[in-house]
Structure 1
């Protein structure tokens, strides 16, 4: 695969502010996740600023530990238009280390009750040593579409 990102787009029957509020709430991320890897948030506070760190408890059968935790650092927080975060881990000494991939949601209002949502997973900044250990993307592309469908279902239920 030559490209270094994947994207999917879906029109959600909800205003952009409502969609953004769901995305900025870490307690919803397990329900949105299209891979099934996110278990629950370790940090439950809403995302309110760039630089904020929030952690998620994860499970992946192919991960050496099975259960693990990621630390996400908010890169973009532009309500109700965009939100993104880098995914990494916290080292034993408390340092955060990011391996170069990020998640981004772009929201385009299509009227008062519809929003076009684009989800992008980008691994273009992943260095060669990490690429030797992890195949990118680490999931099937349809997981992005699944995530957007879960988001739409979650937003419609609020």
Structure 2
């Protein structure tokens, strides 16, 4: 495979500001995740700045320990147009080490109540030594589409909950 990223796009009937607010809330990520690997947010504060670290509790049956934690560093934060993070792990000495793969959501408002959302998983910066033991992407293409549908469901539900007549 020559490409080192994969993406999916979905139009949702929710304003971009609402979609962005859902993505900036780490507590929603376990529900958005299309693989079932993300369990819950260890850091529950909203994402508000580039460089911010937020941790997620994870589970994967092929991981040596099954349960593990990732540390994500916000790389892109442009409300309500883009948000993205680099994923890594905290070592025993507290040092953060990132693997080189990035999750990024780009939002394009299509009017006051509709947004085109593109989710991209980019592994172009993954060093060779990691590529020797991890396959990229580590999931099927349906993962991104599933994640976008979950995002749409959450954003729609929270948008309705915020309207006086919804």
Report the TM-score, using the length of structure 1 for normalisation.
0.99
> CA separation in 1, counterparts of 2:146 and 2:75?
23
Structure 1 position 2, deviation (Å): 1.6
Report the TM-score, using the length of structure 2 for normalisation.
0.95
Q: Residue 86 of structure 2 corresponds to which residue in structure 1?
A: 86
Give SS of 1:130's match: helix
Uncovered stretches (5+) of structure 2, i.e. residues with no partner: 159-166
Structure 1 position 110, deviation (Å): 0.0
Give SS of 1:157's match: helix
- Hey, which bits of structure 1, 4+ residues long, moved more than 6 A? none
Uncovered stretches (5+) of structure 1, i.e. residues with no partner: none
For these two proteins, the number of residue pairs brought into alignment is: 158
> CA separation in 1, counterparts of 2:99 and 2:151?
26
Give SS of 2:72's match: strand
Alpha carbon RMSD of aligned pairs, Å? 0.4
- Rg comparison, structure with higher value: 2
> CA separation in 2, counterparts of 1:70 and 1:141?
22
Give per-residue Cα distances to partners, 1:108-132, cap 9 Å, x unaligned. 0000000000000000000110000
